[in-house]
Amino acid sequence: MRSFSAFLLALPAAGLLATAVRADNSQFQGADPHAIVIDNELWIFPTGGPDGTWKADRFGAFSSSNLKAWRSRGTLIKRDEIGWIGDDGAREHFLWAPAVATRAGKWYLYYSVGPQHPTPSRIGVAVADRPEGPYRDSGRPLIGKAEEDTTPFEAIDPMIFTDPKSDRTYLYAGGSAGARLRIWELAPDMISIRREVRVQQPRSFTEGAFMHERNGTYYLSYSHGHWNAGDYSVHYSTASSPIGPWHYRGRILGSDARHQGPGHHSFVQSPSGEWMIVYHRWDQQAGPAPFEGERQIAIDRVRYERDGSIAGIMMTDGAASPVWPGH
């Protein structure tokens, strides 16, 4: 479960992102990375600011053509540019866990707005003409707590997936205290809801859902465990559609002797066809929770078995880390 008081205590002091220094894995400081390929470059949209520091009041983005040097793409949107954010009466608000999507020449940024307690968390969406923004908020929360909600649900960790078969776009969200996944079909404008899709709850689901499709199989992957402890890990289920029903396939990424709490990830396919996972982790030995200090963005290879299952993912450092095509 994500507690915002614990979250803020874990924020490290400000430090600049080295955009011209080799990053062998970990890549740079951050968390909750959404990765996407744009013009043969890997772009990462993490929780945090445009200089690679923890800023809970804005989002930044970073891109690389070689997984060695990372270029800051500046500020996407600031908390103070979201007009509805103070409507819940809470004294402070935080932004985290962004996701991006593009449709019909526009770019869409989805994000979590807290605190989760005592007021419910919400999900917003903003629109831009370019992936680096600037993004303009839609003017209202996309997802919040409805009066008819009778089971625990945290409106956090949005993820957007457009089904290549039906061209329908789905929003996946939820987790943390409720450990509950919900899915909505978006309207074509990408900033409003067409309908909610009732879905089976995936086994071992906690938060941070991600959907990708490969060879007709839909892979729903997600984080399990406590975000600031060694049990944080990535599990997955498969289905014949983007809305289930799910077949649980197990854990594919967990702590090892040198890295703890890997999770809140995304899958991405490089221009050469190689699949990779982009995630955050603590680069440290096992120890007592809750962990404090800096989480790091890391990238590792994904291998599919002949039956389509995902092989266990090994976390790497240095020369063993993935390279971008042509480098």
**Domain at 246, CATH number:** 2.115.10.20
Q: What is the tens place of the pLDDT at every residue in 154-193?
A: 899 999 999 999 999 999 999 987 889 999 999 999 999 9
User: How many independent structural domains does the chain possess?
Assistant: 1
> What is the distance in angstroms between the CA of the first residue and the CA of the last residue of the chain?
39
Distance (Å) of CA 145 to CA 41, 87, 116, 122: 37, 13, 11, 7
CB atoms inside a 10 Å sphere around CB 308:
13
Q: What is the tens place of the pLDDT at every residue in 233-255?
A: 999 999 999 999 999 999 999 99
Which pair of structure tokens corresponds to residue 59?
């989002």
pLDDT at 13 over 60: no
What is the pTM assigned to this prediction? 0.92
Higher pLDDT, 108 or 119: 108
pLDDT at 20 over 60: no
CA 217 to CA 204: how far, in whole Å?
20
- Between 42-56, 123-137, 164-178, 273-287, the lowest mean confidence (pLDDT) is in 42-56
CB atoms inside a 10 Å sphere around CB 122:
23
Domain range for 130 is 4-320
Inside any domain, residue 257:
yes
The dihedrals phi and psi of 258, each to the nearest 5 degrees, come to: -115, -10
Average pLDDT, the chain: 90
Helix (H, G, I), strand (E, B) or coil at 81: helix
Query: Contact at 8 Å (CB) between 51 and 17?
Result: yes
Which pair of structure tokens corresponds to residue 292?
């404090």
Inside any domain, residue 250:
yes
Confidence (pLDDT) at 117: 75
Inside any domain, residue 98:
yes
Inside any domain, residue 326:
no
Which pair of structure tokens corresponds to residue 192?
């409003």
Confidence (pLDDT) at 212: 98
The string over 186-217, giving b where at least 16 C-beta atoms fall within 10 Å of a residue's C-beta and e elsewhere, is beeebbeeeeebebeebebbbbbbbbbbeeee
Inside any domain, residue 132:
yes
Q: Return the bridge partners of 218, or none.
A: 213, 239
How does DSSP assign 129-193, residue by residue? SSTT---EE-SS-SB---TT--S-------EEEE-TTT--EEEEE--TTS---EEEEEPTTSSSE
Inside any domain, residue 327:
no
pLDDT at 2 over 60: no
**Which whole number is the average pLDDT over 279-304?**
95
Inside any domain, residue 230:
yes
Inside any domain, residue 262:
yes
pLDDT at 5 over 90: no
